[in-house]
Each structure stands twice: as C-alpha cells, then as structure tokens.
Structure 1
C-alpha cells in the first residue's frame, strides 16, 4: 500500500514540473510504436505549474467533440472553468465548515457542469493569467485562496458569516485570473458566455462518466469516493470488460475519451512515454532462466521488470485486482488525460495513444502510449459521449 495518498493536484503539479525539466529526449529503444488510428484533436496544451489536468484534458475532449460534430477547431478557456470552479468550491467548502477538499484538483464533470452553469469562452477572450506569467502557476494562488477561506471559517465561529466574504473571495479571483467578461466578440460576432456555449455544436447532456468497481452494484450510479470529487458527482458502474468495450467502441467510432487515471505506478515511465503493467514471463523461461530468476531478490526482480528496454508480458487484470488496488489506495485519482488513438508495438500488441497536457515534451511530442492492461487496472473514471457506448451496454444503464 502506498503510505501516503497523494491528491490529484499534487501529482498533476509535481509530474508536470518534472516533465518540463526532463533532459532525456530518447524514446524507449526497445519500443517501436505504429499508430493504427488517430482521432483529430486540438494541439497539445501546457498546464504548467498547476494541478488542473482535469480541466485541460476534458476541454481537449470537448474540443475534439466539436471537431467531430463538424465545428471549427478552437481553444476553449481552461481558466474560465478553473476560476468558476474555485468560486463554486469555496461556497461548498464554507458551507461544510472546511471539511471539504479545497484544492486545485477536480474531475471531468466539473468542466461539463461548469459550462452548463456558467457558459464558456475562447482562450483568447479569457487566458486567466493576470499574475505575471505566460503559463499557469498556482503555487501562490492556491495558498492564498485556501488561507482566505480558512480565516473566514475561523472568524465566524458560531456567529453568522459576514455578507462580505464572497465579494472578498471574488475580488481575489479577479486579481489573479482577471475580471470575467459579460460579453465579448469572437470572429466578428458578439456573445455572452452562455450564448457562446449554446452556439457550439455539442451538448453537455451527451456526456457521462463511467467506472468499474464492485463496492457498488453494476449498472447503477454512485458517487465515486475520491478526494477531488468535491462536487459529489456520480458515475455509471459497469463490469471491467464492459468498461474496456466502451473505450474501444468509442475510438473505433471516432470518439475520444477523457481519462482519469493513476500515474504514480512504477509501470509509468515519464522519460519513455509509456505506461505498462509488466509481469515476469515464467512460462516462457527455460529451466536455467527460471532458476536464475528465482534467486533474484525482490528489488532485483523489480529492477528487471521496469527496465522498459523492450515489450514484454503484462499482467492479466481482473475485477478483483482493480478493487483491491482502489481500496488499498494503490490506485488514486492523480491525473487526467485524453485517449485519442490506437497503436501497436513491434509485436502487434495493442496500446492506446494518449494526449497529455505537459507541453510537447519528448519522446512523442506530448503524446504517450499506454497498454490495455494499464488502462484496465488504473482507470478511476472515464467521460465519454453517451452515443459512443455500445447499445447493449447503454440499454443496461438506462441511457437513451
């Protein structure tokens, strides 16, 4: 078990910073990937020093949906969603007397619900960088916002809250992100955030969250118990096999998938741009090899498994393995990315091609390759267009 459960913000922030300082530009010499299918997406973004992977990945997902629906490629404002999310989260945090998780992290449904509630604007209308940097940097923002809210809660005690605290919090958001525009002009037309959202060729009603765990009944909805689900949003629960069928069916039909996952695993290599769940191929070993393997220490075996020098055997993932890893905090909700393609290695083994938001880093210019066992094992939740779900599964879920 991991001794410390890290929040999504910690991993998004730490791994992003590490990716930007990485000097290893060599792809794994033993892995040779061939893209089989690539769905059109907007360019790779850079969340930089912010724990907002959930927003970047989901907006990239929606931008792909716009393209699929026949719309022009566009860059939607991440910080529009993040800023509104901070305000909505603050109200709930104070209402909960500070017992809610108030951090930079979030989930895909924060974006769709944010657009439903607050509309959306293009990036160029609201970059949200009003604090002297050209890329997001939340090291100060998060400290200031949480400290303000904690002070409000402490000062109130058993007394009524002041009528000023929301205005004060909103003023801080204005200073860091910029004042929210009520109207704007985009490509010669005037919009409000709400009318711009309505003009997009997509509907927030088409998107659903899916997961696969046994501590709730299959084909039901449940509030997924992860710290960054501050909204208490629900996911549809399906068996593991059907969750993977949803991913494959989506990609086969030209839909991308917003993917919530855990990249704290040893099988995820930032420098190699891959994610795998390796297992020793004992059946393929000769007697001498098996004897030699048996004499290795656990540390030596682990080092051999995670060399990433060539494709090898991977673990067969079961429903029970997923559940145990989640219950033991071995699977945490620490990163969001976009599954947008299919690939294979030189042995013909299938992989998913994934778009990240850590800038166009090596070895694959901001794209990554994850094996099917990795996705089966380490997915916390998925957001998909409900029309991408196989009909027989959608019927079981009561989706129309």
Structure 2
C-alpha cells in the first residue's frame, strides 16, 4: 500500500509539472470587451470580428460592446448562407453593412426578435446608422497568403466558408505576420482565421505552438488578436481572445506562437489603413 501511495504521489507530481501553464510576459495588451462563450454555435467568426471592431474603438477612447446574437440572427436571412452559419471574419462586416447592428445589451441571445432601433448613451439610431458608426463601409480588409497565386493582388479563395465570394489581398506569410504585429503595436485589433487541428493547439493550457506539422492548413476557427507576448525562452506570441468561455489558465485568452501563426494562418482581417496608409 505504501509503495502504491508513493507511486501515485510521484505520478501526480509529474502530471502537475507537465500541465503547469507556461510563463508568459505580456509586451502589449490592448483593451477588449469580456470574453464570451459561443457554446455549440459555429459563429466564431462573428465573435472574433466584432471583438476586433470593439477593440479598435476602445483603443480610440470610444466604448463599444456589440451584439453577436444580432449578427447570428441576421445570417438566417441570407439565402446563400449554410445551415451551419459558418463564415469568415469579413462575413460579419458584410452582414452588419447590410442588416445593421445593435449594442450587446440590446440583444444578447438569438431567441428574441431583432430590435428595430439601436440605442447608445441616450441617442437613437437606425440599425444601419449604428452599424456605420462602428464600422464604416470599406474600413476592413482581408489578407491571405497563397504561394500559388500572385502576391500583391486580390483573389477569391475557394474556401467553403467564403460562400459570399469575398476577395482577399494575397501577400507573403511573413508580410501577414509583420502587418499583424504592427497593427497590435499601434492599437488596432485583428481578426485571425486559421487551423486549430494542429497537435500543438492546447486550449486547456492556454497556448498554441507548432509541433509535428502535416503540411496542410485547414480553416477551423476565428479568434481576435489583442496583444503580444514572449515566453521564458524569448519566443514571441500573439495574445488571442477566444470565444470558448474563460475556463483556461488565462481567463479565455490564448498565447499563439509566431511559428504557429506562420504555419496555420488562413487569413487576417484588419483596418484597411494599415495597408494603404502610414498614419494611425
């Protein structure tokens, strides 16, 4: 019995060491609204893109909290949309430009009717007026990296989730990384779309690193990028705001290594001025 207890104690110690969270130092952490939980829905793209827009405004001193439920409900009116309601970050932008938007407190769940007006700080808006106040037409652009296509040109990727036929600007992957890093350093949120099927993606421990790579990248998930960090070895990471609740070591945030980004990114969506202007 004593030997058994000793063995259990040793194994417990080893397990606790194995699952100890990595030590991260946050270099940049932008402001963001509370982490949400998408539960069984497949609208991570809406959570990530709206969070990106929220961060953009909060960093400019304009407090904004937006309704994912409104966007999810609006997708039901799109005849081209799949029954799963899957989409891309830019899908959320297109939806709110067409159907409008409301603040988070005006519609928290999809099981209620869509409001007819939007109210914020005592002001009344039509749904389209409110949408344009938080996301101007053409404000966001999508970037991808496909080595089989010409760089510096737009193309329509044939991904299942791109059912709208959105065109994205094709750039080398290292350019996507440097643009994304510059966006965060200058106070802009970024919506990331990529592959989380990689073995190194570890939600329970709150980080994603490349391990064994099968050479393929699939389109699985969207998250908002809200910061930059490094670990005890000096490896660099993006701080991701996920939409799976807060039950991980970092209250719903994740640390995604630059190496993971380079291998597993499908697309990023960010403020257009980061590409076509040197001003903030």
Question: Greater CA deviation, 254-263 or 62-71?
Answer: 62-71
Deviations 1:94-123 (A, max 9, x none): xxxxxxx44221111111111111111012
Please give the per-residue CA displacement for 1:204-230, whole angstroms capped at 9, x wherever unaligned.
422100010122211111112211111
TM-score relative to the length of structure 2: 0.87
Q: 1:128 and 2:109 equivalent?
A: yes
Residue range with higher mean Cα deviation, 373-382 or 242-251 = 242-251
Q: 1:81 aligns with which of 71, 76, 100?
A: 71
Unmatched tracts of structure 1, length 5 or more? 1-23, 94-100, 131-177, 280-314, 316-323, 393-400
- 1:214 matched to 2:202? The reply is no
Point out 4+ residue stretches in structure 1 off by more than 6 angstroms.
24-27
* Structure with more strand by fraction: 2
Residues 239 and 86 (structure 1 numbering): CA distance in 2 closer, same or farther, change over 3 Å?
Answer: same
Q: How many residues align?
A: 265
Q: What secondary structure does 1:92 align onto?
A: coil
Partner in structure 2 of residue 105 of structure 1: 86
| Structure 2 residue 54 is the aligned partner of structure 1 residue 66 | no
Change (3 A) 1:261 1:250: same
> Is the Cα–Cα contact under 8 Å of residues 353 and 369 in structure 1 kept in the other structure?
yes
Matches within 5 A, 1:45-194: 45-72=36-63, 74-88=64-78, 91-92=79-80, 101-130=82-111, 178-194=112-128
The residue correspondences of 1:227-376 to structure 2 (distance < 5 A) are 227-278=160-211, 325=215, 330-376=216-262
Would you say the 8 A contact 2:189–2:224 is kept in 1? yes
Residue in 2 that maps onto 1:96: none
Q: Residue 21 of structure 2 contacts residue 206 of structure 2 at CA under 8 Å; is this kept in 1?
A: no
Structure 2, gaps ≥5 residues long: 1-14
What TM-score, normalized to structure 1? 0.62
Residues 267 and 207 from structure 1, CA distance in 2 versus in 1: closer, same or farther, beyond 3 angstroms?
same
Query: Are 2:138 and 1:205 aligned?
Result: yes
Listed one character per residue, the Cα deviations across residues 335-378 of structure 1 (whole Å, up to 9, x for unaligned) are: 00011111111111111111101111121110001110100110
**More helix per residue: 1 or 2?**
1
